[in-house]
Structure 1
């Protein structure tokens, strides 16, 4: 199940159109390996401003650029197809059908 969730996260990572001037933020977007959920992370020590870029900061007049949310919405059908196919494969492999 971890591999399935990682591959679903990679679908979103590939579709993410990360706005940046230096591509430093784009290098930090990655898929995690959740046991029961797909996780996509951005930022970290190299780009601690990822949350500000994604969600904005109204007090500083920084408008949100929700690149991960947009990638998720644009790839929704592919994600559901991959999830359905992956669950079918897991059930077939473990003789649960």
Structure 2
């Protein structure tokens, strides 16, 4: 079973071997916080590249990166901008076109994301003498 899982158009990517690498790092005693910090910094690459529509600026203020151990997650919306999903994905029944600012940002930053993942895991291995 492969660890690579990509959902078009560029919305979700899973890297082959990452799950096994993280499991091996856990078994070797690597601090989980190192992986969380790496995944957060990768998510921030997408957050800083995202350009949501700016009617009031409230939506832009809700962009954030999660701190997962095994994945980088970028979120938008919440109580201050409950319409984030409608703006991003659209609502055809209401005539609202999709404006996928997060997936567009991921597409623009894809090579930077992979480079940061490679360098980050290498740095974690190096700093733990692995």
Give the TM-score band, short-chain normalised.
over 0.9
Uncovered stretches (5+) of structure 2, i.e. residues with no partner: 1-34
From 85, 104, 111, the counterpart of 1:51: 85
For 2:68 and 2:53, the matched residues in 1 are separated by 26
Shift of 1:20: 2.6
Matched, 1:65 2:103: no
Equivalent in 9, 17, 29 of residue 63 of structure 2: 29
Q: Distance in 1 between matches of 2:129 and 2:60?
A: 41
4+ aligned runs moved over 3 Å, structure 1: none
How far, CA to CA, are the matches of 2:128 and 2:73 in structure 1? 25
Instruction: Indicate the structure (1 or 2) with the bigger Cα radius of gyration.
Output: 2
Specify which structure has the bigger relative contact order, considering alpha-carbon pairs within 8 angstroms and separated by 6 or more residues: 1
User: Which residue among 20, 33, 45 is the counterpart of 1:11?
Assistant: 45
Report the equivalent of 2:6: none
Unaligned runs of 5+ in 1: none
Please give the alpha-carbon distance, in whole angstroms, between the structure 1 residues aligned to 2:112 and 2:125: 20
RMSD of aligned alpha carbons: 0.6
Tell me the TM-score normalized by structure 2: 0.73
Cα distance in 1 for partners of 2:68, 2:97 equals 30
**Total equivalences in the alignment:** 96
